[in-house]
Chains A and B, each alone.
Chain A
Amino acid sequence: MNDLDQLKELLFGAEKQALDTIAERVERREVRTVDVADILPEAIHQSHQKDAELVESLTQPVGECLQRAFRDDPQTYGDALYPVMGPAIRKSIMHALRTFTQQINEAVEHSVSPKGLRWRWQATRAGVPFGEYVLQKTMRYRVEQAYLISRENGLLVGHVHHEASKIKDSDAVSAMFTAIQDFVKESFSPDRTGRLESADMGDFTLWAVHGPHALLVCVIRGVPPKSLRADLSAILERIHFRYGDAIREYKGDTSSVPEVDVELERCLRFEAREESDKTSKSLPLPIIVLLLVLALGLAFLGVRNWTYSQQLEDLDTALAATPGIYVTDISRDGNAFEVRGLKDPLATDVIEVAKGVDIPAERIDVTMQPFQSLQPEMLAARAAQMFGQSESTRFDVSGTNLVATGDAPWAWQQRLRSEFRNLAGIETLDTSGLTASDRQRFADQSTASNQRKFYFRRGVDFVEGNDDELTNYGVELSALQEEAVTFGYSMSVTVNASTDSSGDAVLNAALADRRAVVAADILRTAGVDALVISQPVKLSGNDQPREDISQRYVQVELQLQSLPEQP
């Protein structure tokens, strides 16, 4: 040790020893660790008291440490957290159960009310369990307005509302609510600690959440769940956290509570499907049914009206097509029809025409004046009525010409010819198409009786019995002659006499005349008219005279001639 070192030792010995000690503590890690461990708790405490820098510094590393520790050893931390997690889970479950119980209470409450019965029906219709449906309905609500009111003086600190909400003087509302609150507290709370927490007004519910310095009043449309109160309380707590002092000192200067409305806006976020339900809400079923019934009713009335109009048109067309009917006016009043006009008595009845277009008699009122129609159908019908008409005859009218066709008795035809002009509108008659089978039968019958011969024994003596036969024949001919007139015929009778060739020819001719006269007399006596005696028959082809009894006779011939028709 030199002098300098000795001098240093003398001057700074104690300090040097201290420095050496400090150097040793700085350089030795274990010593430093002990020192830091000694002051660390106090240092953390002081730093945390000072500002939030320590928290910010530790947040990330502590978080990462915890994540790693949980991942590496979950069992240990699970065991450690068990005492905490149990109560936390129980609390959460209890909160959920309380909310659920509240909703069930509301469901039960609504189950016997008219609204509940209506919901029950709607739930059945929607195929949803009633409980679930009620929960859906009761969850519907919306916070329409939120007032933040100073508890000290009732002044409005902040106010927010949905744009559609009707707002009055919010300051007056705030003051009035405070006044009511004071009144209720002073009047009904013996120890003045009671608070007005809710009020119902029609569709709205007023909820007041009380804080130390302010009161949050929310106007809620619908039925809010009880859990909403906890949410609103959280918002009020947050507001107190940020503006507690400002609200306590609040004197009406809104600048002292900047952006408090932003916090209040959070209240308006609480709603449950109200908006979407409104937009998607369909018309109530009774209205739908009513509209449907109205639509069906209108459709029915429309169709019925169209049907009636169609029937009117059909009736008009049918009447116009019916001969002998002339419509002057046709109208409809509802389902009743009215027809006025002229009708030929022979025309089809209007009621029958109406039935043909499905209009019953009770729905039609007919007023028809009689008239005589000159339509061809009516003229033909009138001819048929006047003369009678069999199945084999018919009448047609063409212009003023009446055409009769078919087979008809001769007498009927004669009457038609004589009387057709009595029909108004008929000037001529065409019967070329008519036949008379009865007249033809008469002609045939006459032919069958023609050319009968009656024989003589000698001279003018008839073969026995022939004279009587001639008499009977004469009676028959007389009747035929009378009948012939009724069929438009005239019947003439010619008697031809004959002799044999024996004897003198002149005498024979005289004998023939005598035989003819005798026969004619017998016929005339029997009533026969129009007798003609012809020249004797001259025998030819036999030059040798001889007696032949077959040539000794008279032959009667009938001739039918049509009488001229009447003009």
Chain B
Amino acid sequence: MTQVTSKVCVVGDFAVGKTSVVERFVTNQFSEKYLSTVGVKIDTKEIDFPALGVSHKLVIWDVAGSDEFGHTEFAYLRGASGYIYVADGTRPSTLAAIEHLHSQITGQYGQTPFVLLVNKRDLSHDWSVSDEYLDAITRAYRNVYLTSAKTGDDVEDAITRLAELIIDNDMQGA
């Protein structure tokens, strides 16, 4: 199989579960303990696409949470082939932050494949994002997933989808 490696950046507001999403995806584990990420944390994970004959290795940059990037954070995003936006379904403001970050990233680096994970789906009692807002977001961003890093719901699907989008994008570029 062809070996392809891509840089993927995980971005989102503070405490939306970015590191938990990556940990669930990479190690299939979840920790209740909250540890704020300082700077950036890097993991890798390979996804095989037998139909395409491609083994896609994602180098995942888990960037420290922020609602607006500074120079350092932007430097981390340079050259990313895709983005995993993570928002917190119990805090609608984190979705607004994603909109802002997305516009920042697009303005800086142009259109790049991404998926949006509205996380903490398991906290149904605290869920605060309205369906209307969610529909509007889904229409705007298309690849939107309601995920739970705690239960693992849709996390792998979302990131696997991003890997596919990156391959498609590269093929179009080629």
Contact = CB atoms under 8 A, between A and B. Distances in A.
B5 A252 contact: yes
A199 B122 CA distance: 45
Interface in B73-111: 75-76, 78-81
A431 interface: no
Given A155-B79, A186-B71, A253-B2, 17 more contacts: A152-B79, A153-B7, A153-B79, A154-B59, A154-B79, A169-B44, A171-B44, A172-B44, A176-B42, A182-B72, A182-B75, A182-B78, A251-B81, A252-B6, A252-B57, A252-B81, A253-B4
A192 B71 contact: yes
A154 B72 contact: no
Interface residues of A, number: 24
Contacts of A175: 7, 42, 44, 59, 61
B57 to A, nearest CB: 6
Interface in A154-189: 154-156, 169, 171-172, 174-176, 179, 182-183, 185-187
A155 B2 contact: no
A183 B76 CA distance: 8
A243 to B, nearest CB: 16
A169 B57 CA distance: 11
Interface in B3-18: 3-7
Contact of B5 (A179, A186, A254): A254
A153 B81 contact: yes
A53 to B, nearest CB: 33
13 contacts: A154-B79, A171-B5, A171-B57, A182-B76, A183-B40, A186-B71, A186-B72, A186-B75, A187-B72, A251-B4, A251-B170, A251-B173, A253-B2
Interface residues of B, number: 24
Contacts of B44: 169, 171-172, 175
Interface string B38-49: 011011100000
B40 A179 contact: yes
Contacts of A171: 5, 44, 57, 59
Given A171-B5, A179-B39, A153 B71 contact: no
A254 B43 CA distance: 19
Specify the main secondary structure of chain A where it touches its partner.
Answer: helix
A557 to B, nearest CB: 145
Contacts of A152: 78-79
A150 interface: yes
B40 A252 contact: no
A171 B5 CA distance: 8
Interface of A: 150, 152-156, 169, 171-172, 174-176, 179, 182-183, 185-187, 192, 251-255
Contacts of B75: 182-183, 185-186
Interface in B32-58: 39-40, 42-44, 57
Contacts of B3: 253-254
A156 B5 contact: yes
Interface string B132-147: 0000000000000000
A153 B42 contact: no
A446 B35 CA distance: 138
Nearest to B43: A172
A30 B5 CA distance: 67
Given A172-B59, A187-B72, A252-B7, A150 B79 contact: yes
Given A252-B7, A254-B3, A183 B61 contact: no
Nearest to B3: A254
Contact of A155 (B40, B59, B76): B59
Nearest to B75: A182
Contacts of A186: 71-72, 75
